[in-house]
């Protein structure tokens, strides 16, 4: 087991190349979700702090210290950042587990993905882009892509470093300057990332970080007229607030929001593979994943067999502190979130659903001070139940029954969300037929959860607007400009005199 350092980490914000406390000197504690111990203190940023970061980013963008660099120069910085993430991988992994609670193997994978994301955008930004096209002589026309300007980036607590990088890497690659707000619950590894920015010599003002509450710092970023774009990942309710706050200044908005994603299991699927991925789909990350397979839809002929096997294996999942190598599922991120998940479990019981597995907070085996919940399974559910319709964001799954393709699709699409979904079947034509009918942006066949820097990430309906990652993720942070060039410079002769 990794030793947890007793020393409390003193975090600071990073504005215009300087490490700073909050303007009002207030702080908030950062808690280890495995044992409720205070592991850090973070500045409780104010509106004034957010504005200072915005003005620093605006100044840096206008003077061209970052936006004026060539694509090759920006790429060289991103590659240096990636190398430093690799260099500090063990430390970052331990800090991520300490802060978020996820098992070390999950945290380690996130850190490696973060480095790969910087390398991907370092490579992409130097590749050909834009268009030229033929128009009537004597004109030549072209389209170029340019940075948007000052980008406000707001990220959640479930992937503290990786979600930060998903936004920061393409935003910087495109030549923007940024004002970044990490989650107030998990700010430790983002702070380490900004230390890396300082270490590699990123120009002052190019990347700024303000910590603090969403209604204060996040709202100021979303509403301030000097911010040209806001990119947010988090809950749908908060995303709607951000969209409203951004509307007055007509800034570009990119939102990656919640999900209640269906995982459809047909009778002809490889049974053990389907069970295995269904467990992974909901209990990886303790269910605190926007794309989690939180609704499992099973064809009626194998429903009872599937439930029995799924419950049998769910009961065997090893729950514990993330820094214990034996742990397979860690704690929920905070006491507040624990209460939310427990509330939904009680709500499911009140709605008439049956708890087939779990349903309780874990207080045994020295876990009483942490925010641990048993892997939980609900059966006998109805489509209109809140536990079926609303995002719980924890290790809680509902297992529903369907009779045919048409009902499977109807149930799968029967929520306001459309982030992710999967189909398990050995009939390739059927699997593709059904996956194409799902109103979701991220889908899998005979798999669940793999994510790639090269592929777009985002959803339909109330799961968001825009896409992260891939070429689409870079384009989110670029403006498109049309340039028309007259190759015959002489008067147009439109007027006689």
Please tell me which residue in 44, 184, 256, 391 is annotated as part of the active site. 256
Cα 51 from Cα 469, distance rounded (Å): 28
357 counts as catalytic: no
Hey, what's the torsion of the CAs at 288, 290, 295, 297, to 10 degrees?
A: -130
Cα 40 from Cα 11, distance rounded (Å): 7
Please tell me which residue in 290, 357, 391, 476 is annotated as part of the active site. 290
Token pair of 317, please?
A: 């999942």
Question: Do 307 and 410 contact (CB within 8 A), yes or no?
Answer: no
249-286: burial string, b at 16+ Cβ within 10 Å, e else? eebbbbbbbbbbbbbbbbbebeeeebbebbbebbbbbb
Q: Enumerate residues 6+ apart whose C-beta is below 8 A from 402.
A: 264, 297, 298, 299, 300, 408, 411
Token pair of 159, please?
A: 């992937």
496 counts as catalytic: no
Shortest CA distance to 309 belongs to which of 374, 356, 264?
A: 356
Catalytic residues: 256, 290
């Amino acid at each position: 087991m990794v030793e947890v350092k007793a020393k409390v980490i003193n975090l600071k914000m990073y504005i215009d190349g300087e490490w700073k406390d909050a303007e009002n000197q207030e702080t908030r504690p950062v808690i280890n979700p495995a044992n409720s111990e205070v592991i850090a203190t973070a500045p409780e940023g104010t509106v004034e702090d957010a504005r200072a970061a915005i003005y620093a980013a605006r100044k840096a963008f206008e003077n061209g210290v970052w936006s004026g660099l060539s694509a090759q120069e920006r790429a060289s910085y991103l590659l240096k950042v990636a190398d430093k993430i690799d260099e500090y991988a063990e430390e970052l992994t331990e800090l991520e587990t300490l802060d978020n609670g996820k098992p070390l193997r999950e945290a380690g994978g996130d850190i490696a993905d973060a480095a790969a994301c910087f390398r991907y955008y370092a490579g992409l930004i130097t590749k050909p882009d834009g268009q030229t096209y033929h128009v009537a002589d004597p004109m030549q026309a072209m389209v170029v892509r340019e940075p948007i300007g000052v980008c406000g980036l707001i990220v959640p607590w479930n992937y503290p470093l990786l979600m930060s990088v998903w936004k920061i890497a393409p935003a910087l690659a495109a030549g923007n300057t940024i004002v970044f707000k990490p989650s107030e619950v998990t700010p430790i590894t983002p702070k380490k990332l900004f230390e890396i920015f300082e270490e590699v010599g990123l120009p002052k003002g190019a990347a700024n970080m303000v910590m603090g509450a969403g209604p204060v710092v996040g709202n100021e970023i979303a509403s301030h007229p000097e911010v040209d774009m806001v990119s947010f990942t988090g809950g749908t309710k908060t995303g709607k607030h951000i969209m409203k706050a951004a509307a007055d200044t007509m800034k570009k908005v990119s939102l990656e929001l919640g999900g209640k994603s269906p995982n459809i299991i047909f009778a002809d699927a490889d049974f053990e593979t389907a069970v295995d991925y269904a467990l992974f789909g909901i209990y990886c990350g303790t269910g605190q994943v926007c794309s989690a397979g939180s609704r499992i839809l099973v064809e009626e002929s194998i429903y009872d067999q599937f439930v029995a096997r799924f419950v049998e294996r769910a009961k065997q999942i090893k729950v514990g502190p993330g820094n214990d190598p034996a742990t397979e599922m860690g704690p929920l991120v905070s006491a507040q979130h624990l209460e939310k998940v427990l509330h939904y479990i009680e709500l499911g019981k009140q709605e008439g659903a049956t708890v087939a597995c779990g349903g309780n907070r874990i207080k045994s085996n020295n876990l009483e001070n942490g925010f641990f919940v048993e892997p939980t399974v609900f059966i006998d559910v109805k489509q209109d139940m809140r536990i079926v319709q609303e995002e719980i964001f924890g290790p809680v799954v509902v297992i529903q029954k369907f009779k045919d393709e048409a009902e499977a699709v109807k149930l799968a699409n029967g929520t306001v969300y459309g982030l992710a979904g999967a189909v398990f079947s050995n009939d390739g034509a059927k699997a593709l037929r059904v996956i194409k009918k799902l109103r979701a942006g991220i889908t899998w066949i005979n798999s669940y959860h793999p994510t790639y820097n090269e592929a777009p990430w985002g959803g339909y309906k109330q799961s968001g607007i825009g896409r992260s990652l891939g070429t689409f993720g870079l384009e989110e942070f670029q403006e498109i400009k049309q340039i028309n060039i007259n190759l015959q410079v002489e008067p147009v002769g439109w007027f006689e005199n």
